[in-house]
Amino acid sequence: MQPTAHRGVPRTERQDSLAGGHTPDWEAVRIFLEVVRRGSFRAASECLGQSVNVVRRRIDELERQLGTTLLTRHVDGVRTTTEGAQILAAARQMESASFGLVRARDRALPGLSGEVRIAVTEGLGAFWLTPRLVEFQRSYPGLIIELTCAMRSVDVLRLEAEAAVQLTKPTAADLKVVRLGRLHVIPFVGRPYIEMYGTPKTRVELLKHRIVLQVAEEMPTRNNYDRLFPGLPEPGFVALRTNVSSAHYWALAKGAGIGWLPTYAGAIGARVVPLDIDPELRFSFDIWLTYHPDVNGIPRVRRTIDWIIESFDSKQFPWFGDDFVHPNDLPREYRGRPLVNLFEGFVGGEWPAPAGAVVNGA
């Protein structure tokens, strides 16, 4: 409820406006930025981890403090007013300056200690970086690595992560962008499926089998189905759709159907068999590393970035090279130490049989 002194008084003439000497609350400004970015109070509240009512109240307080209306509500979300757009530009400058303060603080911290946040696609994060990350962290025990594995690209300019690995090339002009290598993907199938249905030798034969798809909003493969199988209805052909690489892999390994995996899958112990059907069923994607140039001056982040680059070195790991190497040829091409078998963590000892159970037909 408005104070009595404010009733009927334009916001620009109220005593609690900036003209009265008040400075805007940064936390409210940050919430305002998030509401604009997300397009609605509800989406912003989910991102911020605050209730919708709290977000609305903070925006109302900011508007009252600034003495102007920043947002108008519509059925499809919110829109900035003319005054709100001007405030938005200044708010973005405030945010950029706050991030600069954080980076300046980090550059002043000594040694290789502290937190480093890495954002990476779920497949590369879970199946490639995580096993190697254990050894890296042991070499630098003062580091705390926060690894976020998701298909959604993060905003390193806004410090959502210090470094990001993704399959789409970043476009922001203020970012440092490094091409790490190429991810080559071909059809694979699990042995349970082969034992039951056999394997196709041609694309025509493939249409008589079942396939498994990995589909996510930002995946570069999301439009491949319509390109490869134009006009073919999914029912009866697509057995399963997943949105993460781990579920996709286990669906293939357990025999749900034929699906696409990176060529190095077998090198890290995947229980699947590569299929030679048609070269047009092979895909390749550039792998990109992105980070803010200022983090080069932060020792712990710089060392972590160097480690990421080393992890995708095609001279050491040929499956990340520009040229396609068939999975069956990788054992001859790879000259490094034995790789960590990620999947060994999913293979435990035999569970004891329940009392009275019949084992092996005995």
- Summarised one tens digit per residue, pLDDT across range 205-255 is 999 999 999 987 666 665 688 888 998 999 999 999 998 888 999 999 999
Torsion from C-alpha of 192, 196, 198, 202, nearest 10 degrees: -90
For residues 10 and 264, the model is more confident at 264
How many Cβ atoms from other residues are within 10 Å of residue 231's Cβ?
Answer: 5
Give yes or no: residues 188 and 101 share one domain. Answer: no
With 90 as the cut, is the pLDDT of residue 47 above it? no
Residue 352 located in a structural domain = no
For residues 27 and 8, the model is more confident at 27
Q: What angle do CA 230, 264, 139 make, to 5 degrees?
A: 135
Q: Which of 346, 216, 197, 220 is nearest to 273 (CA)?
A: 197
Percent of the chain with pLDDT over 70: 77
With 90 as the cut, is the pLDDT of residue 261 above it? yes
Q: How many domains does the chain divide into? A: 2
For residue 2, name the pLDDT band (cuts at 50, 70, 90): very low
Q: How far is the C-alpha of 92 from the C-alpha of 199, rounded, in Å? A: 56
With 50 as the cut, is the pLDDT of residue 263 above it? yes
121: which 2 tokens?
Answer: 């696609």
Name, of 101-105, 110-114, 166-170, 204-208, the range with top average pLDDT. 204-208
Cross-strand partners of 146: 117
The pTM assigned to this predicted structure is 0.66
What's the rounded mean pLDDT across residues 5-13? 46
Q: Given 108, 126, 155, which residue is the final one in a domain?
A: 108
What's the rounded mean pLDDT across residues 157-184? 85
What's the rounded mean pLDDT across residues 173-181? 89
Q: Given 220, 250, 285, which residue is the final one in a domain?
A: 285
First to last CA, the chain: 79
What's the rounded mean pLDDT across residues 319-345? 77
Residue 69 located in a structural domain = yes
pLDDT in tens, 113-153: 788 889 898 889 988 999 888 889 888 888 989 888 876 66
What pLDDT score does 346 carry? 45
Supply the CATH number for residue 258's domain. Answer: 3.40.190.10
Mean pLDDT is lowest, of 25-34, 106-115, 163-172, 307-316, for 106-115
Q: What angle do CA 314, 280, 316 make, to 5 degrees?
A: 10
Q: 189 and 258 in contact (C-beta within 8 Å)?
A: yes
What pLDDT score does 160 carry? 78
Mean pLDDT is lowest, of 104-113, 321-330, 337-346, for 337-346
Going by their DSSP bridges, the two strands 143-149 and 114-120 should be labelled as parallel
What pLDDT score does 359 carry? 41
Supply the CATH number for residue 21's domain. Answer: 1.10.10.10
What range defines the domain where residue 234 resides? 182-285
Residue 68 located in a structural domain = yes
What pLDDT score does 99 carry? 65
Residue 273 located in a structural domain = yes
Average pLDDT value for the chain: 81
What pLDDT score does 139 carry? 87
Residue 267 located in a structural domain = yes
Question: DSSP label at 153?
Answer: P
Q: Given 58, 78, 108, which residue is the final one in a domain?
A: 108
Give yes or no: residues 187 and 97 share one domain. Answer: no
What pLDDT score does 221 carry? 60
Which residue pairs, CB below 8 angstroms and at least 24 apart, start in 234-242? 237/207, 237/210, 237/211, 238/210, 238/211, 238/212, 238/213, 239/210, 239/211, 239/212, 240/212, 240/213, 241/212, 241/213, 241/214, 241/215, 242/212, 242/213, 242/214, 242/215
Q: How far is the C-alpha of 71 from the C-alpha of 261, rounded, in Å? A: 46
Q: How far is the C-alpha of 248 from the C-alpha of 56, rounded, in Å? A: 40
61: which 2 tokens?
Answer: 């307080």
Residue 277 located in a structural domain = yes
What pLDDT score does 31 carry? 86
56: which 2 tokens?
Answer: 């609305």
Residue 337 located in a structural domain = no
Q: 167 and 219 in contact (C-beta within 8 Å)?
A: yes
Percent of the chain with pLDDT over 90: 30
Angle, helices 26-38 vs 41-48, to 10°: value is 120
For residues 288 and 227, the model is more confident at 288
Q: At 59, phi and psi to the nearest 5? A: -70, -40
Residue 326 located in a structural domain = no
